[in-house]
Structure 1
Amino acid sequence: MTVQGVDRVSFVQEWEDWHRQKEAVLAGPHGFLAITSLHWLSAEPGRFEDAPGAWSSTADGVVVQLDEGEELTVDGQAVHGRHDFGVIAERDSVYVGSGDTLLEVAKRGGHDILRPRHPGNALRTAFTRTPAYDPDPRWVLSGRFLPFDEPRPVTVGAAVEGLEHVYDSPGEVEFELDGARHRLTAFNGRTPGALMVLFTDRTSGVTTYAANRALQIAAPDGEGRVTIDFNRATNLPCAYTDLATCPLPPAGNRLPVAIEAGERIPLERGGQP
């Protein structure tokens, strides 16, 4: 894609539609902005103000014990008394209903967690929008995917101090910007063959969120070519709330250039409109 060959009106409209949909998910009734707490479960059953039941993490998985009068909805069925969720896989989540609240039961960094999501959470109800750079076709770059012979496990830090995540990396993404060549370690994206990169750059901590931004990249074509659209660089949930366990970028994914594209520091973190 070249700047000269772009219909700028359509380009901006497509970006605005994409960003509106992304914001709708974030600020939905049970999106990340609805999370009211992050509970790290242990072998000792614990009760929490924003969720019914006593929750524990056992060798056989997560267990909840509901008192008389307490109820959860699991897979559309009312649950009373004791319920065993079994062992939850790393980065998986199970969602359980409790009135208008959704309870996320998950595993992050090898630890079982509980995250209640209440639609009335003030962070959600006060949300308006996420500031972003104006979409500009010059930030749509051609690149190529350089696959590894075998996927490599990559350990990265997390927004929660002391927590680590391990992702399999299928390879690197290479591109040129302002005459310099750059490579970013890629992880698997949301759909088969797609890629995702976590990165920081010289805007990080200045106009964009300091810890990380994420970029989804469509699957490479038959010759390994990819399109890298930095206009679609997004904040992870940790940019809005301390109740997220987001991964940090691999050490090599810190670009020595200013990527003045994509989402900026959220208003909730002191960002500018």
Structure 2
Amino acid sequence: MNLIKTYLTLFIIIILIGCTKKIEEKGSAEYVLEINEWHAKRIENLKKENGWLNLIGLFWLKEGENKFGSDKSNDIIFPDSAPRFMGSFFLKDSTVEMKVNKGVEIFFENCEQVNTVIMKHDQQNGTTIFDHGSLRWNLIKRGDKYGIRLRDLNSELVINFPGVEMFPINVDWRIESEFESYNPPKEIDVPTVLGTIEKEKSPGALVFKKDNKKYRLDVTDAGKSYFVIFADLTNGKETYGAGRFLSVPKADSTGKIVIDFNKSYNPPCAFTKYATCPLPPKQNYMSLEVTAGEKNYGAGH
């Protein structure tokens, strides 16, 4: 009898959970599927070789020689799986040269073995990426600083990543907006986690209403879409403390621009302390609880 009661209780709980989910989600079956497919693709991209989950190090270079390898005496310490003394990065006059020690195999993009090479950073065309075993690294430039970004394709976070929880899908967070253009484009200050301020050109602002209150978000141009960094009242609670990102398609054939907050996503810094994320411009802080999109993951900065 007790066993039957237990099964009945579990059955009722399962039914209630299913009903609750249906009540919480709001939108057509096609729309819910669209958001779920978007999020599945988003998780897939996070796990890719150039995603954010496999970052294991970020090392800022000093002027002159920077030795690297797994030995603790190096300036830049690679994982134990790497050779003890791999070589050196030489920073001089904004140029970084990598010299590889004799007997160490380092390849350029899985193909050509290298000994000495001038590295191209991530803001140049043809960024050079190097590898040894499961390790990948490249040069990044932030302001006047140069650093080595290190990845491990066998990172535990990639292998064991549990995914990112989302708010229940709600079509009410798919909001039509007006685009107020800046002519000429306005220069806006975009702070970063490094404590620096980046100057970006904004072509305009998205203006929309939610619960009869008007909001505006300055955007930057990302080709076929606008890129938005925003903050709201859920930050530091349900969502990442330093805001979220959003890609907004430009006007469709009818001239409408739709902001879909169900596609709000965490910046890389939510997953790793080795990213160099932009933060929301002060004018993009909203006195609004955006209960849509990705919730906090909480492993990064």
The TM-score with structure 1 as length reference comes to 0.87
Given that 1:142 and 1:175 are in contact with CA atoms closer than 8 Å, whether structure 2 keeps it comes out as: yes
- Matched residue type, 1:220: A
| Selected match of 1:260 from 267, 285, 291 | 291
Structure 1 residue aligned with 2:51, among 31, 49, 70? Answer: 31
State the Cα deviation string for residues 100-132 of structure 1 (Å, max 9, x = none): 222132212332111111022233233111011
Q: Equivalent residues in 2 for 1:1-273 (5 A)?
A: 8-46=28-66, 47=68, 48-50=76-78, 52-74=86-108, 77-86=111-120, 89=123, 93-160=127-194, 162-189=195-222, 192-221=223-252, 225-266=256-297, 268=299
TM-score in terms of structure 2 length: 0.79
The structure-2 alpha-carbon separation of the partners of 1:87 and 1:239, relative to structure 1 and needing over 3 Å to count, comes to: closer
How much does 1:142 deviate? 0.1
Change (3 A) 1:193 1:31: closer
Q: Which has the larger radius of gyration?
A: 2
User: Contact 1:66 / 1:81 at 8 angstroms: preserved in 2?
Assistant: yes
Q: Is the 8 A contact 1:91 1:107 kept in 2?
A: no
Alignment partners' CA distance in 2, 1:121 and 1:75: 19
CA deviations on 1:195-248 (whole Å, 9 max, x unpaired) are 011011011111000101000000124775310000000001101111111000
Q: How many residues align?
A: 261
Unaligned runs of 5+ in 2: 1-25, 69-75
Q: Deviations over 1:41-78 (max 9, x none)?
A: 22222122327431233225221111012233325542
Highest RCO, 1 vs 2 (Cα 8 Å, sep ≥ 6): 1
What is the SS of the residue equivalent to 2:180? strand
Q: Report the AA paired with residue 249 of structure 2.
A: A
Distance 2:155 2:227 in 1: 30
RMSD of equivalent CA atoms: 2.3
Greater displacement, 202-211 / 119-128: 119-128
Matched letter for residue 183 of structure 2: D
Listed one character per residue, the Cα deviations across residues 237-264 of structure 1 (whole Å, up to 9, x for unaligned) are: 1011111110001001001010000001
Change (3 A) 1:57 1:166: farther
Q: Secondary structure at the match of 1:37?
A: strand
SS of 2:282's partner is: coil
- Identical counterparts, % of pairs: 26
Compute the displacement of 1:29 (Å): 4.3
State the alpha-carbon separation in 1 of the partners of residues 32 and 253 from structure 2.
29
Counterpart residue type for residue 21 of structure 1: K
Higher mean displacement: 179-188 or 27-36: 27-36
Contact 1:214 1:236 in 2 (8 A): yes
Q: Which has the higher helix share?
A: 2
Counterpart-to-counterpart distance in 1, 2:133 and 2:189: 38
Structure-1 separation of matches of 2:108 and 2:179: 41
